Chains A and B, each alone.
Chain A
Amino acid sequence: MSVTRREFLKLTAASAAASAIGSELMVGSAVMGSPAIDWHKSVCRFCGTGCGVMLGTRNGKAVAVKGDRKSTVNRGLLCVKGFYLHKIVHAKNRLLQPLVRKNGTLQPASWDEAMSLVAEKFSAIIKEHGPDAVAFYGSGQGTTEETYIANKLFKGHLSTNNFEGNPRLCMASAVGGYLTSFGADEPVGTYDDIEHAELFLLIGSNTAEAHPVLFDRLVARKKNHPSTKIITIDPRKTPTNKIVDLHLQVIPGYDLAVMHAIARILIKEGYTDEKFISESVTFSDGKKKISYEGYKRFLEKFTPEYAAEKAGIDPQDIVKAARMFGEAKTAMSMWTMGVNQRTRGVWLNNLMHNIHLLTGKLGKPGCDSFSLTGQPNACGGVREGGGLCHLLPGHRKVAVKQHREEIAAIWNVPASNIKPKPGKHTMAMFSAIAAGEIKAAYIMCTNPAHSLPNLNKYLQGLKDCFLVVADSFHPTETTKLADVVLPAAFWGEKEGVYGCTERRSQHMAQAIQPQGQARWDGEILMDLARRLGHGKNFEHFKTPEDVWTEYITTTKGRDMDLTGAPYSRLRKVRGLRWPVPDEKHPGTWHRFTEEDPLFPKEKAKGRRMYFYNKPDGRAVVFARPDKGPEEPVDAEYPLVLSTGRVLEHWHTMTMTGSVKQLVRAVPQPYVEINPEDAKELGFADKDTAIVETRRGELKLMVRVIDRPRKGTIFIPWHWPEKLANLLTTDAIDPGSKEPEYKICAARIRKA
């Protein structure tokens, strides 16, 4: 008998289809329309897009999720991850009780036992070694309220600035870019610009997989306005290419030259906005101010041919890209990890801003240089909330005396409690843990034993130090190493605010009670504060709303003013985009323009844009050298290794790994090899290979596919059983301290 799988599939499908018609539809076809469901307004737990979602509950359980059609971010759409959020709430890997390591294994313990141990250890270590012997490592996934409480406890009361968060690993270069180019962090425009843009320049962004709902907006824009053009600069062909008109498939690490070459053509061919340049732009080589003429001279080297040779592309494509950008009346650039996770991430961010400043394509509908965020609250909790070692809430810095004094007054502590010297940035922090200088660490809502680069260097230190991990899930690579694991309430089980990519702060309702013994992270931190003798300044925080109310006082009069966004308002609206200085204010579309409530009309004197956080009100066009990657390929390690994401999984898979449908979509880790490389190296699809770098090796299934550029390989980093970060480099950008996850030298051989 011979029936092929294909014939068989057809048979079974036909049979099943017919049997289902008119009878049993999908499970709970009554679910969506059922009056027995309570719907709660929330925000998606995954990426930084900030999609509005409605969480449906019945009898205290999360039973369904639908897109919030009133949200202007996603208009009811969901990506395939957000679609399953309700399943993740009740996932099998939810941690429901505290665990304490006894005789080498993690064992169930009471809250009191666990917290007593944490407080005792932290007290003893601070007493013996000083406050800088402890550290906090948070997350762009915690709520703003949680990060605020932790910040207040560690910087304000324990007096250590060893306070970091995982946005250091993803957004720090974007922050550096915005600060140096425009004088203030976060984008000038918002998502609304998408519906006005004639051209999109995507660089280092696999938008289709990493920001699917924004990708859908691009698809919709192109469908409604077929003349819309999309250019991508990326070493890899990705699903984003489905809608791309021109792809510059560069060698990883050599795109700085390409951006300079584009700028050069924009000037040479008259696409610049000279009035805007003369009014609102200044030029710098990174050390000192230079003239416009000096900048032009700097660019002379960057002919299309020079850049094309560096980047391994056709010079004509650079010319085409520049002309498309120049000719379009409106243009929006978007980027994410391919630009940020680089040893010259800040510089490349600057170069993105450069082309918008030169052409005046900024601060008006359809024009923006727009960094996409990877986590739901990296912008809100960590960038705005000051959750990094050099920051304080409300876009303030620990190094500025006035900033310390302002925050100390709100925190009700002596200003001397807040130390002026920045603490250890993420990689320095984990190095200090590895060196035994930091002896205790509290990790909240993140999984560094999976997500740090060059893991082999840091894992032993995490094992050796006194490690407290508060997480909703167990086991993770990090909880496995912990001394104490605290069960944290998950999304839907707590109230709070998330701030997304477009400066929008959105309220999430608590829909159900925390499961098992899980507690809100804020409550856990305040319990620790009490046990460490600092309870008094946290007593008035009875609810997350109390925390938010105090937090927004830190933003009053700042560039990210959220005074007009109290819970009473946020509960009703689909978020507000700061600055929103009073409760009547609708929020701001374009910063630094007349639309911005902080725009100083008198100083601006008729100028269209005034960058008020720069002393002269001018944004900076940077003449940065086109430095290549930290670890270029060589004879020994001839391939470029890049890591990245797939649509159906997110970060370290603690959430998506529990959803069978998503696991089904991409069941196994793999390494992508270009067909030409595969042929040369003798690999066939599904062979097993060993990928090696100077830091480690990994055995993986080979996927021969025309996605990575010849000479490059790609590994998605989600799977805990195949940690791509054993291979990646921990070299950092000297400005942003963000590691170069995206580029290192590798070699590959048959297993």
Chain B
Amino acid sequence: MNRKNLFALIMFPLLFLLLIAYACSSTTTTRKVANQSPVTPAAVSEDEKHLDVDFTISCLECHTEETPEVVADWSAGTHGKVNVGCFVCHGDGEDEYYASPGTDACLSCHDSLATEVAEAQTDETCFTCHDGHKLKFHAEQHGGFGASHPGWLRPDSHIKSTHSPQYTGD
């Protein structure tokens, strides 16, 4: 059985549910699709496990084919350059899967930002400001920082400092 067949077989029931959800949505924005989705918690849980996967190939191999734009964004960013793979933020897809990762994984390497994170408003994560793949600020991608991003305007904001570790050799 080839990869695609296997994939279709495993995912058919869930696919069906989601297609209904998709069909029910009256607009095309992804946020609305999901918000209006009648998907049950159980289905979400399965969904979050990302079981729709051929586990004999790597995340990157599959996504290069399936979501090339996401892979291109990641490759262009620092994480792509230094090969911090999909699984670091998103999990292995089987035991754990985070479609929308929080801040903990970031802090494993960017611990110097722990204070900023602790002081951040509770609904803020790194990805409130950063695109998860390019790592650029969302606002920057849309032509500059907007006043709608209070986070970066805070006087103690980390944006004033640099994320990259400074090797001074002391």
Chain A interface residues toward B at CB < 8 A: 3, 5-6, 8-22, 25-29, 31-33, 54, 64-67, 69, 72, 74-78, 80, 83, 190-192, 194-195, 208-209, 212, 215-217, 219-220, 223, 239, 242-243, 589, 647-648, 660-668
Contacts and interface: CB of A to CB of B under 8 A. Distances in A.
A163 to B, nearest CB: 36
Interface string B4-23: 10011001001100110110
A59 to B, nearest CB: 19
Contacts of A212: 82-83
B110 interface: yes
A667 B94 CA distance: 13
Contact of A192 (B39, B67, B102, B169): B169
B32 to A, nearest CB: 9
Contacts of B83: 80, 208-209, 212, 239, 647
Nearest 10 CB-CB pairings of A with B: A25-B102, A75-B165, A18-B34, A16-B99, A192-B169, A26-B102, A14-B30, A20-B100, A661-B87, A660-B92
A488 to B, nearest CB: 27
B35 interface: yes
A25 B83 CA distance: 23
B42 to A, nearest CB: 12
A62 to B, nearest CB: 13
B105 A26 contact: yes
B100 A17 contact: yes
Given A32-B104, A209-B83, A76 B111 contact: yes
B139 interface: no
25 contacts: A3-B15, A5-B8, A5-B66, A6-B65, A6-B66, A12-B47, A18-B34, A19-B47, A20-B100, A25-B102, A25-B104, A26-B101, A27-B104, A66-B111, A69-B111, A72-B169, A74-B165, A76-B111, A76-B165, A80-B83, A191-B167, A208-B82, A208-B83, A664-B55, A665-B85
Task: Tell which of B56, B125, B165 has the most Cβ of chain A within 10 Å.
Answer: B165
Contact of B88 (A9, A21, A66, A80): A80
Contact of A66 (B93, B99, B100, B109): B109
A25 B98 CA distance: 8
Task: Tell which of A16, A31, A65, A208 has the most Cβ of chain B within 10 Å.
Answer: A16
B55 A667 contact: yes
A427 B166 CA distance: 43
A3 B82 contact: no
Contact of A22 (B34, B63, B123, B168): B123
A86 B50 CA distance: 24
Nearest to B122: A22
A376 to B, nearest CB: 19
A699 to B, nearest CB: 16
A5 B53 CA distance: 10
A13 B99 contact: yes
Contacts of B114: 32-33
Contacts of A15: 18, 21, 33-34, 37, 39, 44, 47
Contacts of A80: 83-85, 87-88
B167 A242 contact: no
A648 to B, nearest CB: 7
Nearest to B115: A33
Interface in B155-170: 164-170
A23 B125 CA distance: 11
B58 interface: yes
A31 B166 CA distance: 26
Contacts of A12: 14, 18, 47, 50, 52, 99
B99 A17 contact: yes
Contact of B104 (A29, A69, A647): A29
Contacts of A208: 82-83
Contacts of B167: 72, 75, 191-192, 194-195, 217, 220
Given A32-B111, A54-B111, 5 more contacts: A14-B33, A19-B44, A195-B167, A219-B78, A668-B57
A589 B11 CA distance: 58
Given A8-B11, A83-B88, A664-B55, A33 B100 contact: no
A22 B31 CA distance: 13
A21 B33 contact: no
A242 B111 CA distance: 26
B153 interface: no
Contacts of B24: none
Given A14-B33, A83-B108, A195-B169, A668 B56 contact: yes
B82 A28 contact: no
A694 B77 CA distance: 44
B104 A26 contact: yes
Contact of B67 (A9, A17, A18, A28): A9
Contacts of B165: 69, 74-77, 220
Nearest to A6: B66
B135 interface: no
A78 B93 contact: no
A33 B83 CA distance: 26
Contacts of B86: 665
A431 B148 CA distance: 71
B73 interface: no
A67 B33 contact: no
A81 to B, nearest CB: 11
Nearest to A647: B83
B108 A66 contact: yes
A3 B165 CA distance: 44
B30 A18 contact: yes
B56 A5 contact: no
B91 interface: yes
B56 A16 contact: no
A8 B15 contact: yes
B117 interface: yes
A5 B84 CA distance: 24
Given A15-B21, A31-B104, A243 B96 contact: no
Nearest to A53: B108
A195 B78 CA distance: 18
B164 A667 contact: no
A69 B97 CA distance: 27
Contacts of A660: 92, 94-95
Given A25-B125, A76-B111, A208-B82, A667 B99 contact: no
A663 B92 contact: yes
Contacts of B21: 15
A36 B102 CA distance: 20
Given A15-B47, A18-B34, A72-B169, A666 B108 contact: no
Nearest to A74: B165
B99 to A, nearest CB: 3
Nearest to B4: A5
Contacts of B34: 14-15, 17-19
A216 B101 CA distance: 23
B107 interface: yes
A27 B105 CA distance: 10
A32 B120 CA distance: 14
A691 B52 CA distance: 33
A667 B104 contact: no
A22 B48 CA distance: 15
Contacts of B98: 20, 25-26
A14 B58 CA distance: 21
Contacts of A26: 98, 101-105
Task: Tell which of A5, A6, A22, A31 has the most Cβ of chain B within 10 Å.
Answer: A5
A195 B165 CA distance: 12
A190 B55 CA distance: 41
Contacts of B30: 14, 17-18
Task: Tell which of A75, A194, A219, A662 has the most Cβ of chain B within 10 Å.
Answer: A75
Nearest to B57: A667
A19 B56 CA distance: 28
A16 B81 contact: no
